[in-house]
Amino acid sequence: MSFTLEKVVPWGRSFDEYTAMFSLSNADLDKSILGCGDGPASFNAELTRRGGHVVSADPIYNFNEDEIRSRIKKTYKEIVEQARNNKEEFVWDHISSVEELGTVRMNAMNDFLSDFTVGMNNGRYVDASLPDLPFEKGHFDIALCSHFLFLYGEQLSENFHLQSVKELCRVSPETRIFPLLELGTKKSRHLKKIIDRLEKDGFAVSIEKVSYEFQKGGNKMLRIKHT
């Protein structure tokens, strides 16, 4: 099935959220980073301004700035409403209200939008989809995947997860994935089996607590390294 914009609910997190979700140190931020499934997050825009080296890969980059902007406009109210209706699933700590959530996310997405066309021309945004990425083996130092793998465990199969994680590990010696919960704060149905398979295949895998928690109980990332 082809990827259409109608299927995407664009929602982008900020640079500060990425650094917290993935425990990114200053040394990490100096490395060559892949953000897979970055969508309309502002991580790429902000890290580039800070002099970092980052490429974002996402099928949403098949569309142009105006198309993505209009999709954000169409879905924004609906997503904020969903957050309001499911308020008890989130920790209202760093972000203290649904209104603030809307503002934080919209600021991040506007930052992404104003960077997108120039970043696309510079090769920082690449139209690509897991489980097949158009990068050479070991092209990056760190691959990040935020709010895609495991989160959509109901929609995406165990095999898709395994192929995708291995693909991230092919293009980078270290992969970090966050969160490890599904939508609705459910425990990931695939996590244990994926870890077992990766360990069997010789990867070093660890689950690490991070300083970020918005989805209740979603404060752990998966780190996978080549041994």
Ligand X SMILES: C[S@@+](CC[C@H](N)C(=O)[O-])C[C@H]1O[C@@H](n2cnc3c(N)ncnc32)[C@H](O)[C@@H]1O
Shortest reach from residue 227's CB to ligand X, in Å: 26
Nearest by Cα to 44 from 162, 126, 103? 126
Shortest reach from residue 217's CB to ligand X, in Å: 17
List of residues contacting ligand X (CB under 6 A) = 8, 11-13, 36-39, 41, 58-60, 129-130, 146-148
* Closest to ligand X by CB, 4 or 199: 4
Shortest reach from residue 79's CB to ligand X, in Å: 10
Shortest reach from residue 74's CB to ligand X, in Å: 15
Shortest reach from residue 205's CB to ligand X, in Å: 21
* Closest to ligand X by CB, 11 or 135: 11
The answer to whether the peptide bond before residue 179 is cis (omega within 30 degrees of 0) is yes
* Closest to ligand X by CB, 24 or 130: 130
Residue nearest to ligand X (CB): 39
Shortest reach from residue 42's CB to ligand X, in Å: 9
CA 11 vs CA 104, 139, 199, 201: distances in Å: 11, 27, 32, 34
* Closest to ligand X by CB, 174 or 178: 178
For residues 144 and 57, give the distance between their C-alpha atoms in angstroms, rounded to a whole number.
Answer: 10
Shortest reach from residue 10's CB to ligand X, in Å: 6
For residues 189 and 95, give the distance between their C-alpha atoms in angstroms, rounded to a whole number.
Answer: 28
Secondary structure E strands in 49-171: 53-57, 125-126, 142-146
* Closest to ligand X by CB, 13 or 195: 13
* Closest to ligand X by CB, 164 or 198: 164
* Closest to ligand X by CB, 76 or 148: 148
Residue 142 per-residue DSSP state: E
Nearest by Cα to 172 from 225, 129, 227, 132? 225
Q: What are phi and psi of 35, to 5 degrees?
A: -110, 105
Secondary structure E strands in the chain: 32-36, 53-57, 125-126, 142-146, 174-178, 203-209, 220-226
Reading the block at residue 189, the tokens are: 């149905």
Neighbouring CB atoms inside 10 A of 39's CB total 23
